[in-house]
Amino acid sequence: MTTNSRRYFLQRLLASSVTIPFLYSSVASGKTSVLTANQQGPTLRVALMGLGDYASRVAEAMQSCKRAKITGLISGTPAKLQQWGEKYQVPEDSRYSYENFDSIRDNSNIDVVYVITPNALHHEHTIRAAKAGKHVICEKPMALDVKEGQEMIDACAQAGVKLLVGYRMHFEPNTLEIIQMRDKGELGKITFFQGLSGFRIGDPSQWRLNKALAGGGSLVDIGIYSVNGARYMVGEEPIWVTAQETKTDTIKFKDGVDETIQFQLGFPSGAVASCLSSYNIDHLDRFFLSGDKGFAELHPANGYGPIKGRTHKNELRMPHGAQQTLQMDEMAAIILDGKQPIIPVDGIEGLKDVKIMEAIYQACATGQKQELKLL
């Protein structure tokens, strides 16, 4: 990457006076250094809802945030509320159960609720938080179906609060560098995208393998990265989808819980995408974008990092740090400053992915191409 392109990227990422720490790795010296600047602007005060494994990752990453901090906790487990409250210095009167969290409307020390509960609860928890007058960040997938997603968007609009979706990769530096290259025409006319998303899932009793709680299987959990990635990497909205499901273990993957799905997307320009989502195949974490002048690849593309990339020109060496730190500082700027991200993270963005996933399941069930209307 040239000095000019790196400078251009950083200027865009640091717009609206957002300050984010970047960890740079020096290949030559093997040493690391941190680029920091003075904090500017108000701090986003966040209540974490659902204190599970991913919330733990978010909480730890937020300790390095410049513009976001944990000021509230919501959980159904009293012991977790006490443990997390002590660890992150959240007072008892800002710790809530799922039954009483509506009372956060009276807590002026909370700006936003970050919903990190099982998929089936996103709808209820988002609407309740919005009615309490709080902005919402909802983990992906935003909803189980299009009806739920639209109701969540409407509830937040009626309450005058923002609805964002936890698309951490929308702020990932290597990803944004490729999009910059595409927009500058360095890849030429985009013709093809490949997205591979999957792993072998473990404990068969976990909620992700429960249709009632998850709303599906691999597609809604890990395949959504390829659904969403195809859209922002190609730079268009798909107009059709075809899909095929493969299931080899009907005991672990019961009815309504997909094991492996292959799906194909078509775009208005003629570009096509070929994607794979699986809960039973390891080492699937790759994006490949091809144009008539060059290519770009991310491998790994969606893991917690470090994300690695290369193009027809060179390897990408953008900074790596905790993705959730970057995500939360950027979301603070969106909520508090009205910043417009390079890749949207709002409820409409989340709803588009839900529409595509519904169409993928329909294509699997019918064996027929499904037309898409996302705009």
Q: Can you give the CATH number for the domain in which 313 is found? A: 3.30.360.10
Chain Cα centroid distance, residue 311: 23
- State how many domains the chain has: 1
pLDDT at residue 375 in the model: 84
Q: Is 148 exposed, middle or buried, given 0-12, 13-18 or 19+ CB atoms closer than 10 A?
A: buried
Q: Is residue 27 assigned to a domain?
A: no
How far is CA 101 from each of CA 73, 153, 332, rounded to the nearest angstrom? 9, 20, 22
Residue numbers annotated as active site: 140, 225
pLDDT at residue 39 in the model: 52
If DSSP states are collapsed to H, E and C, what string results for 116-133?
A: CCCHHHHHHHHHHHHHCC
Q: Is 41 exposed, middle or buried, given 0-12, 13-18 or 19+ CB atoms closer than 10 A?
A: middle
Q: Is residue 43 assigned to a domain?
A: no
Backbone phi, psi, residue 241, to 5° = -145, 140
pLDDT at residue 5 in the model: 43
Q: Which residues of the chain have pLDDT under 70?
A: 1-40
pLDDT at residue 15 in the model: 39
Q: Is residue 241 assigned to a domain?
A: yes
Q: Is residue 291 assigned to a domain?
A: yes
Distance, in Å, from the CA atom of 245 to the CA atom of 262, rounded to the nearest integer, reads 6
How far is CA 362 from each of CA 126, 226, 359, 369, 372, rounded to the nearest angstrom? 26, 18, 5, 9, 12
Q: Is residue 270 assigned to a domain?
A: yes
pLDDT at residue 38 in the model: 36
Residue that has been written with the tokens 């599970």 in this structure: 52
Q: Is residue 159 assigned to a domain?
A: no
H helical segments located in 19-172: 53-62, 78-87, 122-131, 146-159
| C-beta separation of 307 from 175 below 8 A | yes
Reduced DSSP (H G I as helix, E B as strand, rest coil) percent helix, strand, coil of the chain, to 5: 40, 25, 40
H helical segments located in 217-306: 218, 224-234
Q: Is residue 238 assigned to a domain?
A: yes
Q: Is residue 132 assigned to a domain?
A: no
Residue ranges making up the domain that contains 190: 185-318+347-371
Distance, in Å, from the CA atom of 29 to the CA atom of 10, rounded to the nearest integer, reads 23
CA pseudo-torsion sign 145, 146, 148, 152: positive
pLDDT at residue 41 in the model: 85
- The full length of the chain comes to 375
